[in-house]
Amino acid sequence: MKLKDLIAPFSVWKRATEKPYTAMKPLSERPGADRYRGFHINDQEKCIGCGSCEAICQNGAIDMVEVAGVETTLTDSGLRPRIDYGRCCWCALCVDICTTDSLAMSNEYVWIDEDPEVFRFIAGAEGKPWDNSEKGYRRSGGYSLLDPERVPMILEDPKKGVTSFIEMVKGYSADAARQEARRCVDCGLCIASCPAHMDIPDYIRAIRDDDLEEAVKILYRTNPMPATCGRICTRNCESACAIGVKGDPVAIRWLKRYIIDAVDPSDITAALGKEFSDSGKTVAVIGAGPGGLSCAYYLARMGHHVTVFESSKKAGGMIRYGVPEYRMPYDRLDDEIAHITEQGVTITYGVTIGVDKSLDELAASFDAVFISTGLPDASSLRLTGEDLPGVLSGVEFLERVARGETITLGRTVAVIGGGNVAIDAARTARRFGAETTIYYRRREEDMPADWEEIHDAKLEGVEIITQSIPIQLEKAARGKTGLVWGRARMEDQGPGKRPRPVLIVGETYTAEVDTVISAIGQTADLSYIAESKTASVGIDGNKVLADYHGRTENVKIFAGGDVVNSIGDAIAAIADGYRAARSIDAYVLTGKGKT
């Protein structure tokens, strides 16, 4: 032992005069660091109740519960996370996965109680002292667990596409579809927005698991025309998608299309099976559009004998005659209709109710009748000069193209309107080589047409003039038609309302074009109902009055599709058809109608 070993330890006494380490104030006042993972905060306004936090919590600490003052809407489940601090480990995975970035953590950390039952709270809704904390853990910019970007869709080269009617959207490959399907967080918020309430997360899961047979079964549970909806659906679901809050919504429509394109039509029949009972009941369906076909399909699978009366030569309704072939190839539609007729549905073509057969006759010879005649006629522009020879309606134009008629449009075309029909007409006109311009009253973001359609139309060289109100149509030189239009400004209508276009006095222009196509809406001719003596039902303008279940005031008559609902798209008609099929089934089996 050295002397140093005895002395050296005492040398540290020199520290005795220094400031002690101890913090003299009560330390409970020390705030957590800026990033501290303290107690949860949740912005109740931003939160949409998707439940991803519950799904990722490995501690089972989160419950989704109802909160007073939060309504359930199509984009908000109305549920909010309640966190059990008897489970939480403050790992902040819930914050990382949050689809809206509403969930975060404060830097507060002191919560003491004598009662073990109190440590459960709905973050952000119980007025905790830390609710408005600015500090605490937030997901950092360089780190995320969710993929905000959609797998890009392969499109036909617009320069090439504009010369023919080949399908523009090529569809996902299996890899791309699985990759896109992985973006889904399985929350199911989208289901409510779909009129047919398709089980979207489940079929997306089936894609992920590569189980297409299961996916097909899920599709046909609510929708007998998935190939159609996979292409032309208005996809309200995607606007409710939780991923869409911060990034691109999951491409639900393209995923649906992938399933049905990847499966051979014969495999669909095999997957669904064909065994069903025979009830011996007969049902007439008027109109072979999506609503009629959907109703017929489900009725047939419920065991009833269905006859569809269609005035045209082919089935499909607006999907065939209103949607151009480059969006909805006819052979895919034919496959889909073939699958429906395989279920035992008879379609009688070229029979117009009210002309060849009356509604009364049908009501007398069938156990029930389903009306789904849609809105086949174009609405009037109500402008002078509408009857000029160079003016035609979008519906008429598209229908004639679909029938294969030859149409001379000339070199320049003006399309009036901003809906899907307007875009379809404009892009079809481009395929006839015409320089096409769309005139729309409001701004581009107000256009009811699908944003991807608008985008693709522009790629194909369609020009869009927004905030332009047509004033009148007049005859112009060299057989042209003059479209007189005025510039509009947008007038604010208060919060939550769409701004209204108002004509700016004095700013008028005239466009001289070869053809004017008006596409501002559609209407129906319901005289065959009004003429009926025994089977008449309530009518309001161009709409048939029917309830949610497709039941009209006449116990035997049911109705659905565009002729009933105000949404006016294919999926709404399909949903109407399905619900009406259930009502009809209940009626023909029990003889009881609306209670």
Partner 1 sequence: MHNKETLPNLGLPEHERDLFCDARPRVSKPLASYIEKFLNWSRANSLWILAYGTGCGAIELRPLFTARFDISRYGMAPRPTPRQASLLMIGGYLSVKTLKRVIRSYEQMQNPKFVIGLGSCTVNGGMYWDSYNTINRLDHYLPVDVYITGCMPRPEAIIAGFEQLKKRIKDGRAEGANQYAEQFDWYKANQKKIITDWNMPDYNW
Partner 2 sequence: MKPYSDRGKFPERTENGNVIDLDSGKFVKLWQGPQHPGVTGNMSLEVIISGDEVVDLTTHVGYLHRAFEKLIERRLYIQSFPLVCRICVPEPDTNEYGYAAAVEELAGIQIPEKAAWLRTLTLEMSRLTSFLMWLGGQAGAFGLGTIPQWCLAHRDYMLDLFEELSGGRVYHMYIVPGGVRDDLPRGFARRLEDVLQKIEQVMSDIELALFSNAVFKRRAVGLGIITRDMIDEYGIVGPNARAAGIARDLRKDQPYLIYDKLSFEPVTADFSDAYTRTLVRYREMEQSIDLIRQIMAGIPEKGAIHVRPPNVLHWKIPAGETYVKAESTRGEYGYYLVSDGTAYPRRVHVRGPSYTHAVVLLEHLALNTNIADLPGLMVSLHTYPPEIER
Partner 3 sequence: MEQINELKARYSISDSRDQRPDLGFITVDPGRLAALLAELQQVRGYTHLSFITAVDYPETGTFQLTYMVHNFESAHSLGVRTVISRDTALMESVHHLWKQAKTYQRELKEMYGIDFPGSPGVDDPFILEGWQGPPPMRRDFDTRAYSEKTYFPRPGRKTSDPRRHMQSRLYPDYTPFEEET
In the complex, the residues that contact partner 2 under the rule CB under 8 A are 1, 4-6, 8-9, 11-12, 15, 21, 32-37, 52, 55-56, 58, 89-93, 96-97, 105, 136-137, 140, 142-147, 179, 182-186, 205, 208
- Distance of alpha carbon 215 from alpha carbon 68, whole angstroms: 37
Minimum separation from the CB atom of position 4 to partner 2 (A): 6
17 binds partner 1 (CB under 8 A): no
H or E element: which one contains 571? helix 570-590
Question: Quick one: 155 or 586, whose CB is closer to partner 3?
Answer: 586
Question: Quick one: 55 or 155, whose CB is closer to partner 2?
Answer: 55
Q: Which stretch in 79-87, 231-239, 424-432, 558-566 sits in contact with partner 3 by CB under 8 A?
A: 79-87
Minimum separation from the CB atom of position 189 to partner 2 (A): 15
Among 486, 578, 580, 584, binds partner 3 (CB under 8 A): 578
Question: Quick one: 5 or 275, whose CB is closer to partner 3?
Answer: 275
Residue 549 touches which member of partner 1, partner 3, partner 2, none, C-beta under 5-8 Å by kind: partner 3
- Distance of alpha carbon 44 from alpha carbon 381, whole angstroms: 45
277 binds partner 1 (CB under 8 A): no
Minimum separation from the CB atom of position 236 to partner 3 (A): 13
Residue with tokens 């002729």: 563
- Distance of alpha carbon 6 from alpha carbon 287, whole angstroms: 106
3-state secondary structure 348-374: EECCCECCCECHHHHHHHCCEEEECCC
Minimum separation from the CB atom of position 242 to partner 2 (A): 12
Question: Quick one: 183 or 442, whose CB is closer to partner 2?
Answer: 183
Per-residue x/- track, 157-196, partner 3 (CB under 8 A): ------------------------------xxx-xx----
199 binds partner 3 (CB under 8 A): yes
Structure token digits, residue 486: 């005025």
Question: Quick one: 275 or 492, whose CB is closer to partner 3?
Answer: 275
Least Cα distance to 222 among 560, 544, 565, 581 occurs for 581
H or E element: which one contains 220? helix 212-222
Structure token digits, residue 326: 């480059």
Question: Quick one: 34 or 525, whose CB is closer to partner 2?
Answer: 34
Structure token digits, residue 165: 């009617």
DSSP code at position 11: G
Structure token digits, residue 410: 């000339």
Structure token digits, residue 337: 């209709």
Among 5, 18, 113, 175, binds partner 1 (CB under 8 A): 113
CB 213 within 8 A of CB 257: no
Q: Which stretch in 66-74, 135-143, 344-352, 531-539 sits in contact with partner 3 by CB under 8 A?
A: 66-74
Residue 183 touches which member of partner 2, partner 3, partner 1, none, C-beta under 5-8 Å by kind: partner 2
One-letter amino acid at 82 equals: R
Structure token digits, residue 81: 């996370």
Question: Quick one: 64 or 328, whose CB is closer to partner 3?
Answer: 64
Residue with tokens 């196509």: 517
Contacts of residue 555, Cβ cutoff 8 Å, sequence gap at least 6? 587, 593, 594
H or E element: which one contains 489? strand 481-491
106 binds partner 3 (CB under 8 A): no
Site residues, partner 1 (CB under 8 A):
20-23, 26-30, 32, 58-61, 84-90, 109-116, 119
